[in-house]
Amino acid sequence: EKHKAQLKRLMDLRTKHLRVFDFQKKDDDAMAALHAKTIVVDERELLVSSANLSYHGMQGNLEMGIRLVSEDKAKQVENLLKEMVSMRLFVELRKD
């Protein structure tokens, strides 16, 4: 609820190439969390990072990420993300 305005702006940016998903946390595991941020671009570039897009994520914390230019690795990660969607670990947010 506290990020409603930011989520609305993100949802307004969605296209067929940009989709937004919600992590489906299991009720029986209080410690479960999604922290990795992953972007696959054009099935060829891949960014995996721990940084949030916030002041502390960009300036205050020591965060780390890696950018790879590799069709093979980008496709592997994209397939893994698709598998997690099919398992309903992630559910696409729809504009309501």
Catalytic residue among 3, 4, 17, 35: 35
Q: Which of 31, 51, 40 is nearest to 80 (CA)?
A: 40
Is 56 designated active site?
no
Is 29 designated active site?
no
For 43, residues 6+ apart whose C-beta sits below 8 A from its C-beta are 71, 74, 75, 78
CA 14 to chain centre: 13
Is 72 designated active site?
no
Catalytic residue among 29, 42, 72, 96: 42
CB 11 within 8 A of CB 3: no
Q: Tell me the catalytic residues.
A: 35, 37, 42
